Amino acid sequence: MDTKVLSSGIRYSNLPESYVRPESERPRLSEVSQCDNVPVIDLGCDDRSHIVQQVALACINYGFFQVINHGVSKEAVERMLQVAHDFFGLPVEEKMKLYSDDPSKTMRLSTSFNVKKEKVHNWRDYLRLHCYPLHKYVPEWPSNPPSFKQIVSDYCVQVRELGYRLHELISESLGLEKDYIKKVLGEQGQHMAVNYYPPCPEPELTYGLPGHTDPNALTILLQDLQVAGLQVLKDGKWLAVNPQPNAFVINIGDQLQALSNGTYKSVWHRAIVNTDMPRMSVASFLCPYDHALISPAKPLTQHGCGAVYRDFTYAEYYSKFWGRNLDQEHCLELFKN
């Protein structure tokens, strides 16, 4: 493979060797069933206590849920997906100006996950952006397509508002004050990964992304409506989560698992690929500020159940996470008491 990115316009007839997983690590697509009862929470419901109860059940039993009537405009979503398609459709020479395999860069086009560290690559290209505060980061974003900065800025503002609403609901669902999570996480960072999964000649041999949990607090995922690819681990089995119109998938991240003292589980999820169609997704990550001290909420460590995790800063966690392979054991295991 001469080019560093997959979105080069080349259609591969065979999967390059560097993408082939050992037999024991392959996705076994024929064994995956549909997740038929994905929790779908209507944020437009007038009964707040009902929403809070639904959030609690979803976070305990699944570690993720979908939201509808979420307040992010349909236009913002459609424009975001369109500009993402337009970006990955640019000539490869244009895109490669933004390429980097340095995870510390705040704006970069890259491929796979952590090219320098991993043994086997993943069938994905992605554009990684820092999104908060906007005035600091927008100037370094792509200026092609010309509408990119405006469209993505609008989308980021609306998604951040949704994230704050969800933090309040999750706090309340744990029996905490509604601003508890917001206070602990501090001035939150916001990152985005615009993921592009090209058609793959042998999808049963590789992943778009292997099974992993998210290192941040909360992930708000916009799925491609045309092409499924997200799978979650539930009761030891991988289940396919089909996209739902006008919905976001909300993943509980590692920081909320720690903060909830393990009551809520950070969901293991993966992206699989297919032979026919490219797939897009847009993941927005809300992250604690670097020096936020993450520890189990005191009310959740009483009644004889002690703190499962030691205190740590988000910066400490994040550097551990990026220093490993994505599909190693859960990073949170390293912070257990």
- Peptide bond preceding 245: is omega within 30 degrees of 0, i.e. cis? no
Q: What is the pLDDT of residues 194-225, one digit of tens each?
A: 999 999 999 999 999 999 999 999 999 999 99
pLDDT confidence of residue 2? 47
Domain regions of the chain by residue span: 31-335
pLDDT of 65 over the 60 cut: yes
Would you tell me which CATH number, out of the four given (2.40.440.10, 2.60.120.330, 3.40.190.10, 2.50.20.10), belongs to the domain 31-335?
Answer: 2.60.120.330
Q: How far are the Cα atoms of 46, 84, 200, 310 from residue 87, in angstroms, in the given order?
A: 39, 5, 20, 42
Q: What is the pLDDT of residues 83-116, one digit of tens each?
A: 999 999 999 999 999 999 888 899 999 998 777 7
Of 119, 126, 123, 125, the closest CA to residue 27 belongs to: 123
Radius of gyration of the chain (CA): 19
Region 249-277: mean pLDDT is 96
Of 309, 280, 106, 296, the closest CA to residue 189 belongs to: 106
Packed helices 148-173 and 48-61: angle between N→C axes, nearest 10 degrees: 90
Q: What is the pLDDT of residues 288-309, one digit of tens each?
A: 999 999 999 999 998 778 999 9
Confidence of residue 323 (pLDDT cuts 50, 70, 90): confident
Burial category of 274 from C-beta neighbours within 10 Å (exposed 0-12, middle 13-18, buried 19 and up):
middle
pLDDT of 325 over the 80 cut: no
Q: What is the DSSP letter of 46?
A: S
Region 264-281: mean pLDDT is 96
CA distance linking residue 158 with residue 169, whole number of Å: 17
Averaged pLDDT score across all residues of the chain: 94
Maximum separation of any 2 CA atoms in the chain, in Å: 60
Structure tokens at 33: 């069933």
pLDDT of 16 over the 70 cut: yes
pLDDT confidence of residue 302? 85
Q: How far are the Cα atoms of 41, 124, 127, 137, 197 from residue 5, in angstroms, in the given order?
A: 37, 8, 11, 24, 11
